[in-house]
């Protein structure tokens, strides 16, 4: 064995050693979930460019055509067609676009409301905290599906109503988690120094306290993506989601539930898409939590 003595400069590790070390570090990355989520995002952003057919226009002569790998299938319709002759691949791609828009808008609105209320309740405490937390408890006690059905029956079915329903469903989680972090952060010395220096309350909340909550919010947002997609799909399946003929994964599953014996692909294709995206997002969220939580990083 070679001995290392003082005064001797060690040569850098060989290229193969560096590559193996990098590969060992990458092994912990959830590569498959990241790949699936990347395909989901790209499909949602570029749906008009990559979809082979119009998702809302069907050819009745090609109705109930099986996928290309099945007997009687055609490469013209890789995932088959539905009962109206619409291309399933195009509808799944456009369904990803709808889910992506719903997730972005819902997290933007519901997350912002929840974070602001969580910051205010945790910082002020007293009756302000009591009022906001009781609103959170009331919302968590009301079934989201029941609330959605009532609102859709009262106000009608539209994209705006779905976004409002989903924002109402997720803001309590952001408020509760943010409030818990603020209760700890507001006792820190740097917050006390900011108060002594005469900093305003909004400055203390958003410049000194909010950065300490960002990691928790990122993790929560990644986990909420799967919940939002499942809720939107459930509402669409029940007929209270995105109105037809706009392709949504939940409504596509509902279209094929009565035809499973003769056209299993109508429900299976969007169902598999929902499962893959939600599962990948949950795995990615767990990995992100392990990386951003300093207490878990110390265990590695």
- Domain map of the chain by residue range? 61-292
Give the mean model confidence (pLDDT) for residues 169-184: 91
* CA dihedral over 105, 110, 116, 122, signed as positive or negative: negative
Q: Which of 224, 118, 223 is nearest to 175 (CA)?
A: 118
Looking at 95-99, 170-174, 195-199, which range is the least confident one? 195-199
pLDDT tens per residue, range 93-103: 999 999 999 99
CATH fold group of domain 61-292: MetI-like fold (1.10.3720)
pTM of the model: 0.83
pLDDT tens per residue, range 139-163: 888 888 888 888 888 887 888 888 8
Q: Which of 274, 277, 273, 270 is nearest to 254 (CA)?
A: 270
Cα 98–Cα 57–Cα 91 angle in degrees, nearest 5: 35
pLDDT of residue 1: 45
């Amino acid at each position: 064995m070679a001995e290392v003595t003082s005064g001797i400069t060690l040569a850098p590790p060989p290229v193969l050693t560096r590559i193996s070390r990098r590969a060992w570090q990458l092994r912990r990355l959830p590569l498959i979930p990241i790949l699936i989520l990347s395909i989901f995002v790209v499909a949602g952003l570029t749906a008009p460019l990559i979809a082979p057919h119009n998702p809302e226009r069907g050819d009745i002569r090609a109705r109930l055509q099986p996928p290309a790998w099945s007997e009687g299938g055609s490469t013209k319709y890789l995932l088959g067609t539905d009962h109206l002759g619409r291309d399933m691949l195009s509808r799944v791609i456009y369904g990803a676009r709808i889910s992506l828009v719903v997730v972005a808008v819902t997290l933007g609105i519901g997350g912002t409301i929840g974070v602001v209320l969580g910051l205010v309740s945790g910082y002020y405490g007293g009756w302000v905290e009591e009022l906001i937390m009781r609103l959170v408890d009331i919302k968590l006690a009301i079934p989201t599906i029941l609330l959605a059905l009532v609102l859709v029956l009262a106000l009608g079915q539209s994209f705006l109503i779905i976004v409002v329903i989903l924002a109402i469903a997720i803001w309590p989680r952001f408020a509760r988690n943010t409030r818990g972090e603020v209760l700890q952060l507001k006792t820190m010395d740097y917050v006390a120094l900011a108060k002594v220096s005469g900093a305003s309350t909004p400055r203390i909340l958003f410049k000194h306290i909010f950065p300490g909550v960002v990691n928790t919010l990122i993790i929560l947002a990644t986990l909420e993506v799967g919940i939002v997609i499942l809720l939107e799909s459930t509402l669409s399946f029940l007929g209270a989601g995105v109105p037809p003929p706009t392709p949504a994964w939940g409504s596509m599953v509902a279209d094929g539930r009565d035809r499973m014996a003769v056209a299993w692909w109508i429900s299976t294709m969007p169902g598999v898409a929902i499962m893959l995206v939600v599962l990948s997002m949950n795995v990615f969220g767990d990995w992100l939590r392990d990386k951003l939580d300093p207490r878990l990083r110390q265990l590695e």
